[in-house]
Copies of this chain bind each other. A is one copy, B any other.
Amino acid sequence: MTRQSASRTEPLGPGVGRVETRLATVADPDHPLQLVSGDHLDHVEVAYETYGSLSPERDNAVYICHALTGDAHAAGIHDGETKPGWWDNIIGPGRAIDTDQWFVVSSNLLGGCSGTTGPTSMNPATGQVWGTAFPQIDMHDFVEVHLRLAAHLGIEKFHAVVGGSMGGMQALDWSLTHPDTLDNAVIVAASSRLTAQNIAFSAVGREAIVRDRDFDDGHYLDADRRPDTGLSIARMLAHITYLSEDAFAEKFGRTHQFGEPRRGFGVDFAVESYLDHQGETFLTRFDPLSYIYLTRVMDYFDPFGTTGATDLVVADPVNYLVVCFDTDWRFSPAHSRRIVRHLEGAGLPVSFFTIASSWGHDSFLMKLDPYHDLVRAFLEVPAGRRTGRASRRAPHHDGHICTREVDR
């Protein structure tokens, strides 16, 4: 197939329109949230958005799990803003996650900094911000909070849980630990186990934050300075891994930002200007401690490292769609293949596709038609057609120009 640079600009119809982020209290002293670490949280608020309408049977809900630095605002437009949510190209009327058909729920992660309880929230027990006293969290804790939000919304079972990158890890964890609460899981550009190199990139980003003098052992939240230098550096570094080498070459090559070379200490090449901009804008929307807490969750995620990891889901099978992108080197296709091997090895129904895209890891956020068509078709296949739930037969998707691979 050809590279999808053309199709990603195909115009979209109107989206979900005006939306707002709401808050739900999902843990209180009578219903504390027990964490994997052994700690518990007496108060947890979750920021979330919903798009579309829940059917009377409550059987059309789709949960969106965000990646490392996402938030609840996945689609539509906030009052007074013009930029839509971070996954607006896939969620909306007639879009791949079609809000004419599905009731879509999107929430901000525990430990995040966009409305859900995290290290920048107030600890009610002390009246102070949590800071580094916020407990260590785990992928399971994310899923637990998602399920509490579901209960708050009156949803017992999701038609699908969908996520890219760390969002895909949540979808995977959810399917393994609570398979009775979802029918389908869509796992895009994810990993079940970071490599040493993956951890290395996260580690250098964290070190840039922690070693920034303004981090002040994590007490910066009480001060008027923040380790912005460290956070920018971490973000710039991460962005190198989000694009493929070819995408960098295509986007920037060796062009100079100001026409003529300005050899010296500042920005000169266009790629430097891009990274600089990414580092700066990130400061307006993210918190250094949240960055540390959330990257750590990814480092430790290793669900198949536990004996019996698939026992629950084998007893109550979930249908899987695993998607990766050929030029993704943040989580290369080998990561997705490992997920597929484990799931197929347990006899679970898995569809696996590698999409050709020159954009690397960032492809999961892009409107690449074969990718979106695939997600649309997977969500629309009636549950009844997936009869052999514990068989190795994956649902068949006609007419997609994607490469299907199953690699054991």
Residues of chain A at the chain B interface (Cβ within 8 Å):
37, 132, 136, 193-197, 199-201, 203-204, 206-208, 210-213, 218, 229, 232-233, 236-237, 240, 243, 245, 248-249, 251-254, 261, 263-267, 269-272, 275-276, 279, 292, 296, 299-300, 302
User: Which partner residue on chain B sits nearest A132 by CB separation?
Assistant: B265
Smallest CB-CB A-B distances: 4 pairs: A196-B248, A196-B271, A196-B252, A203-B272
CA distance A252 to B251 in the complex (A): 34
Enumerate chain B residues within 8 angstroms of A213, measured Cβ to Cβ. 213, 229
User: Which partner residue on chain B sits nearest A233 by CB separation?
Assistant: B208
Nearest CB of B to A139, in Å: 12
Chain multiplicity (copies): 2
The one of B37, B212, B218, B233 that contacts A207, using a Cβ cutoff of 8 Å: B233
CA distance A136 to B254 in the complex (A): 19
CA distance A200 to B201 in the complex (A): 14
User: Which partner residue on chain B sits nearest A252 by CB separation?
Assistant: B196
Given A200-B271, A265-B218, A265-B292, A233 and B211 contact (CB-CB distance below 8 Å): yes
A199 touches B263 (CB 8 A): no
The one of B208, B249, B261, B299 that contacts A195, using a Cβ cutoff of 8 Å: B249
Given A203-B272, A236-B207, A212 and B229 contact (CB-CB distance below 8 Å): yes
The one of B218, B229, B253, B275 that contacts A204, using a Cβ cutoff of 8 Å: B275
Nearest CB of B to A272, in Å: 4
Enumerate chain B residues within 8 angstroms of A210, measured Cβ to Cβ. 265-266
A240 touches B272 (CB 8 A): no
CA distance A178 to B210 in the complex (A): 48
A196 touches B251 (CB 8 A): yes
Beyond the given pairs A199-B254, A213-B213, 10 more chain A to chain B contacts, judged by CB atoms under 8 angstroms and listed by A's residue number, are A196-B245, A196-B254, A196-B270, A196-B271, A197-B245, A200-B240, A200-B248, A206-B265, A213-B229, A237-B237
Enumerate chain B residues within 8 angstroms of A218, measured Cβ to Cβ. 265
Enumerate chain B residues within 8 angstroms of A296, measured Cβ to Cβ. 263-264
A253 touches B208 (CB 8 A): no
The one of B132, B254, B263 that contacts A302, using a Cβ cutoff of 8 Å: B254
The one of B200, B229, B243, B252 that contacts A275, using a Cβ cutoff of 8 Å: B200
A263 touches B136 (CB 8 A): yes
Enumerate chain B residues within 8 angstroms of A204, measured Cβ to Cβ. 233, 236-237, 240, 275
Enumerate chain B residues within 8 angstroms of A207, measured Cβ to Cβ. 232-233, 236, 275-276, 279
Enumerate chain B residues within 8 angstroms of A279, measured Cβ to Cβ. 207
B200 touches A249 (CB 8 A): no
B265 touches A199 (CB 8 A): no
